[in-house]
Structure 1
Amino acid sequence: MKSRTRLLWIKLHTYFSCFFLPLAVMYLSTGMLHMMDIDGGVRSEVQFEVPVPAGIPEAEDEVRALLLPLMAQHGQDMKLPADYYYEPKESYIGWYGYKGQVYFEPLEDPGKAILHVKKHDLWHQFLLIHKGHAGPVFWVLGILFGLSLLFSLVSGLVIAIAVPMFRKTSIVFTLLGAATLAIGIALSV
């Protein structure tokens, strides 16, 4: 590989790594702590019983029309998250997002429900960014970060193979990594 081409690979590797480093630190820390069941939690929660004489509707617009006046009446100014869920099997009707969640909990009396308004703490918000619940900006950044990570790893391999002194060792470690992945998959089934 010519030195000019190798320098280009090194520059791209460096710039992508520097740009995505803060996001990588956030993903690494939230992922590792999530594996240890440290997920953050709810900063504040308000719940109150509300009348729903016709029952809780299923359509998002109808639920929104019922819910927003109730929230305003009880002094809750939280903006509704973007993701609406209607899951009758789990009795979950509401919105869920990285900053919080707003949902109805049906009661035995079909004319009443409990309205929950939860605001997530900062650590839980980071975890939900990691899990893809933070809207389109973080979704796109997550995809770009994944592609950048793949590029950084491949460019690191290309640069290592281009240097004769690292070529054999780089290939051996790449094969060891592939074998470890295959063994892990085989043993996890």
Structure 2
Amino acid sequence: MKSRTRFLWIKLHTYFSCFFLPLAIMYLATGMLHMMDVDGGVRSEKQFEVTLPDGIPEAEEDVRAIMLPLMREKGQDMTLPADYYYEPKERYIGWYGYKGQVYFEPLAEPEKAILHIKKHDLWHQFLLIHKGHAGPIFWVVGLLFGLSLLFSLVSGLVIAIAVPMFRRTSIVFTLLGVVALTVGITLGV
């Protein structure tokens, strides 16, 4: 490999690594702690019993038309998160996002429900960014981070193979990685 080409690989490897390092640290921390059941939680939660004469509707626009005035009436100025969900079995219906959650919980009487307004703490927000619940910007950045990580690993391998002193060891460790992955997939249930 020519020295100019190798230098270009090194520069790209360096710039991508530096740009995505903060996101990588956040992903590593949230992923490792999530594996140990440290997920953060709710910073604040308000609950209000409300009367809905026609019950809880299912369509997003109908729910929004009911929920927003109720939130204003209760003095809650939180904007609705991006992701709308409807759980037909439990009839939980509302919005979920990395900053918070707003939903109706049905009660035994069909015209009654509890309006829940939750704001997530910072650690839980980081975890939800990690899980892809933070809106389109973080989704795109997360996708770019994954591609950057792949590029960094491949460029590291290309650079290592280009240097004769590291070539054999690089190939051996790459093959060991393939074997470890294969064994993990085979034994994992």
TM range (shorter): over 0.9
Match of 1:13, SS state, is: helix
Whole-Å Cα distance in 2 between the matches of residues 79 and 157 of structure 1?
Answer: 46
Whole-Å Cα distance in 2 between the matches of residues 175 and 143 of structure 1?
Answer: 26
Alpha-carbon distance, 1:86 to partner? 1.1
Whole-Å Cα distance in 2 between the matches of residues 22 and 143 of structure 1?
Answer: 15
Whole-Å Cα distance in 2 between the matches of residues 51 and 100 of structure 1?
Answer: 23
Letter in 2 for 1:56: I
1:134 matched residue in structure 2 = 134
- Trace 1:108-187 onto structure 2 (pairs within 5 A): 108-187=108-187
Alpha-carbon distance, 1:45 to partner? 0.1
Moved over 4 A (4+): none
- Trace 1:1-189 onto structure 2 (pairs within 5 A): 1-189=1-189
Q: How many residues align?
A: 189
Whole-Å Cα distance in 2 between the matches of residues 12 and 70 of structure 1?
Answer: 52
Alpha-carbon distance, 1:90 to partner? 3.2
Cα deviation per residue 1:148-180 (whole Å; 9 max; x = unaligned)? 000000000000000001000000000000000
Which structure 1 residue ranges, 5 or more long, are not aligned?
A: none
Cα deviation per residue 1:53-75 (whole Å; 9 max; x = unaligned)? 11100001110111111111111
Whole-Å Cα distance in 2 between the matches of residues 102 and 4 of structure 1?
Answer: 55
Whole-Å Cα distance in 1 between the matches of residues 87 and 16 of structure 2?
Answer: 41
Whole-Å Cα distance in 1 between the matches of residues 90 and 155 of structure 2?
Answer: 46
Letter in 2 for 1:140: V
TM-score (norm 1): 0.99
Whole-Å Cα distance in 1 between the matches of residues 99 and 90 of structure 2?
Answer: 22
Alpha-carbon distance, 1:92 to partner? 1.7
| Percent of paired sites with the same residue | 83
